[in-house]
Chain A
């Protein structure tokens, strides 16, 4: 059972992060993948501020847990979650995001930004890389885990299932796939064209341990992260988090138009008001 104080702390961080996301989006002269950012905000807070054994003061520590953001277009969400943990300076992210020579751009680049564990942006490639890292850790008998955050849309890619098959076959118990299951692709809802269900069964079929939970319920997130099987276990784990694209902003939630976008000053004020109301318990419960 998740500790109530810890859940409360994480909820406050998620609230802070949503506001920072909107602030950045409203002050950036370009588009931000705000819909998918808001759907994984709670998950990333749960990971970077509770689940992952990481230390921003020792970014290259071999004993740290690894985190790969396979849905690379959510980079800004990761930057902010990490900045709240002390990795990066939020003001620097806002000031330079997407600018020439900035380390902070639409998709994370390990070469330009030490502290992230891998570069990504082309969808569907993260899980195989995470499996490679898990192979290495297992062979060296290291105790850390490798986490890979995926969007459900990118799991249409064949490489994801090739990697899932390999991880299940080789019993990579130290590998954790985290799926932001918001049931939206960029231009359609799950089921409009591609039907991803029965989603959890697909992972089970590849011999994964599957945990399903509400990706906006911080207590459930904490519980899922606190109760992972041991790294020496015989199955990789898929954390399938049911989420809402655009979560917390009324005009973005489940709106195809808000996969990515730019915020006008009026939109920004409305979004911030929605997030504030949501944190006070008066917002959308979508």
Chain B
């Protein structure tokens, strides 16, 4: 295994994002940083590259349009902000100004799933569904802050719109050693081997999946874990492979169960004709979840590691 898990270590993905923006700004003269009054992590970038930094105030639709205009002129704009407003408020601008013209705009959103702590207005439970429905848009979900830099660097070779969903972005668990993987849009990572079942997850929920697998291993159940950080395009070969090899598939995600990764995986099964023995999804039900931490809400709505353990056991009965 190339992977090293540092379950006790945390890092701010926002800081990594801000540092990487500086790195990109130095290396690429066509990189711009854009924000709608949420540029706290971009202070150093702003100081170093004031002529390639735009803060439009609280105006996400306008910001998406400006990003499109910059990209039409050969620039690579990175929009940093809070997910619900980046994906929903500016939904049509993202679709028509950016995706329709197939422009290389990067969206980096913080507060994935129910991690925001801001309640239902600030939770991001529809974003993957919205963004993956847009033609030309790729959708990634990253929990490990170390991956953030690598993916941002990788994005410079990607000529289409790209949405990168982070977890809360303040105190994120490190899963992989830096440099452990060569990431690729359209690929997933087998984060843990196993033969009895597979948990497919994304973002910081991969940590929950790995914890569940550890618990199950103590009971003699050997569970594979896939980090499907690329949700669109999705790694169809890997999805089919784990279905064939382990039979039982659990999708665990911090997103509405409708429209997220689970729906994508189900589509792969139906379209490919490769079916798992059993398939179960755990995520956010059709509720506005309200207040609480991400961990508390995951437990309340039944998609944390404890729920994953129970679901796998039931599947294997």
Residues of A near any B CB (own CB < 8 A): 109-111, 117-119, 121-122, 125, 127-137, 139, 158-159, 162-163, 165-166, 170
What 0/1 pattern do residues 40 to 67 of B give for CB contact below 8 A with A? 0000000000011010110101111111
**What are the 10 closest A-B residue pairs judged by CB atoms, nearest first?**
A132-B69, A128-B65, A162-B62, A136-B73, A132-B66, A162-B59, A129-B69, A133-B69, A132-B70, A159-B61
Q: Is the CB–CB distance between A128 and B70 below 8 Å?
A: no
Set of chain B residues within 8 Å of A137, measured between Cβ atoms: 73
In the bound complex, how far is the Cα of B66 from the Cα of A130, in angstroms? Answer: 7
B93, CB-defined interface residue at 8 Å: yes
A contact residues around B66 at 8 Å (CB): 128-129, 131-132, 135, 163, 166
Q: Are A159 and B75 in contact (CB under 8 A)?
A: no
* Chain B interface main SS type: helix
Q: Of the listed stretches B97-105, B167-175, B201-209, B270-278, name the one at the interface; the rest are far from the partner chain.
A: B97-105
Name the one of B65, B96, B100 contacting A132, with C-beta atoms under 8 angstroms.
Answer: B65
Interface size class of B (residues with CB under 8 A): 20 to 34
Q: Chain B: which residue is nearest A136 at the CB level?
A: B73
- B interface residues with partner A (beta carbon < 8 Å): 32, 51-52, 54, 56-57, 59, 61-75, 77, 92-93, 96-97, 100-102
With A110-B101, A162-B59: A118-B65 Cβ-Cβ less than 8 Å = no
Indicate the member of B54, B97, B101 with the most A CB atoms within 10 Å. B97
Q: Is the CB of A139 within 8 A of B96?
A: no
A125, B65: Cβ atoms closer than 8 Å:
yes
Closest Cβ of chain B: how far from A149's Cβ, in Å? Answer: 15
Q: Which residues in B have their C-beta under 8 angstroms from that of A109?
A: 100
What B residues does A128 contact at CB under 8 A?
61-66, 68-69, 93, 97
Nearest to B60 among chain A residues (CB) is A162
| In contact, A135 and B93 (Cβ under 8 angstroms) | no
Q: Which residues of the partner chain A approach B64 to less than 8 Å between Cβ atoms?
A: 128
Asked if residues B69 and A130 are in contact (CB atoms below 8 Å), the reply is yes
A134-B101 Cα distance, complex, nearest whole Å:
18
